[in-house]
Amino acid sequence: MKRYLLIVPIACWMFSCQKEIPLKTDEIEPRIVVNSIIGTDDTVWVSLSESRNVLYDSTLPAITSATAKFLDGSGNVIGDFIHEGDGIYYYTGSVPGVGNSYGISVAYGDFDPVSASTRIPVPVTISDVDTNTQGEYLNFDIDFTDNAATADYYSITIGGQYIYFDGFDTIKSIAYYLYSPSVIVDNGTDDGSGMKYAEEFYFSDKTFNGGNVEFPATVYVGPWSEDTVRYFVVLRSLSEEYYKYRLSYDKYNEASGNPFAQPVQVYSNVTDGFGVFGSFSEFVSDTIVVE
């Protein structure tokens, strides 16, 4: 049973970081903070906490006695969330479906009730993955088709498994750092040569809207190049709110602790509160064997 509480991914985004929502210094009254990313899993998870002033430097207080409801696209109640502990709630009813809209409503004590909604995007199929080796680097050309009729948001990760002999053939897993041209991706660290690197790249279709897309990515294979490696590519279709949250959150982390950086406001789509309620779907390629 997977837990999509930002994280993605391959998509694991640390709980302690996910609860940090930067607030304006003039914010006085605490509000409800919602943190949930949903997919087509059998369980929907949400983290609830109380907001604090931006100068607050500890973990946000968990909300353990809220009334949280899972809604359909018309605002009808599908079911109630159950508190598991430490502000984490779950719903185990009907499995969310791609292309459908969902919502959440939360009431807690004297706090203003909050709500948010998202639509689970339809997954985009990877049509082809070509590879070629250059020394200790492996280049990928990842092909898929973008829908010209909609604004679309994506992420790409590359994982792998290799066989390590320690008396037995032991399979070990690797999460790779990717390199890709900076004009294509919207996040990552610039390496000074027109390329960016990150464990997961986020990008939109603003530069290629519609038609066939060839996404280039390079990974460093290093000392594992002589072992049999099975690679796979994960292409995620993201809701707009999930995409905006991830980009703003990454920028917030980059600016944190830098006295010369401009303040960064983390994106929120929660009405009368803070946080994110977003969604994604994903396509995982067939494994690619490199010997």
Q: Decide if pLDDT at 242 tops 50.
A: yes
Q: What is the pLDDT of residues 248-280, one digit of tens each?
A: 999 988 887 777 778 888 999 999 999 999 999
- Domain extent listing, the chain: 15-121+240-280, 126-237
Percent of the chain with pLDDT over 70: 86
Averaged pLDDT of the chain: 87
Largest CA distance in the chain: 62
| Better-predicted residue by pLDDT, 13 or 230 | 230
- Give the pLDDT confidence score for residue 27 in this predicted structure: 54
Whether 126-237 and 15-121+240-280 are alike in CATH topology: the answer is yes
- Give the residue-averaged pLDDT of 28-54: 92
Exposed / middle / buried, residue 58 (Cβ in 10 Å: 0-12, 13-18, 19+): exposed
Show the tokens assigned to 38: 């949903």
β-bridge mates for residue 171, sequence order = 163
pLDDT at position 90, please?
98
Rounded to 5 degrees, φ, ψ at 278 are -130, -175
Among residues 237, 250, 234, 251, the alpha carbon closest in space to that of 279 is found at 237
pLDDT of 16 strictly over 60: no
Which pLDDT value is given to residue 205? 95
Specify the fold of 126-237: Immunoglobulin-like (2.60.40)
Classified as helix, coil or strand, 249 is helix
- 222 burial level (CB within 10 Å; 0-12, 13-18, 19+): exposed
Q: 97-127: per-residue pLDDT in tens? A: 999 999 999 999 999 999 999 999 999 999 9
Give pLDDT, residue 248: 95
Mean pLDDT of 64-78: 97
* pLDDT tens digits, one per residue of 147-196: 999 999 999 999 988 777 666 767 777 778 999 999 999 999 999 999 99
Q: How far apart are CA 287 and CA 172, in angstroms?
A: 15
Residues 6+ apart with CB under 8 A from 84: 90
pLDDT number for residue 169: 66
Kindly report the pTM of this predicted structure: 0.85
Which carries the bigger pLDDT value, residue 261 or residue 76?
Answer: 76
pLDDT at site 67: 98
Output the pLDDT for position 291: 66
Matching CATH number, 15-121+240-280, of 2.40.30.200, 3.40.50.10490, 3.40.50.150, 2.60.40.10: 2.60.40.10
Q: Measured between alpha carbons, how far is 112 from 151 in angstroms, rounded to an integer?
A: 32
Calculate ∠ Cα 185-188-191, nearest 5°.
105
Confidence (pLDDT) at 127: 97
At residue 7 the predicted structure's pLDDT band, cuts being 50, 70 and 90, is very low
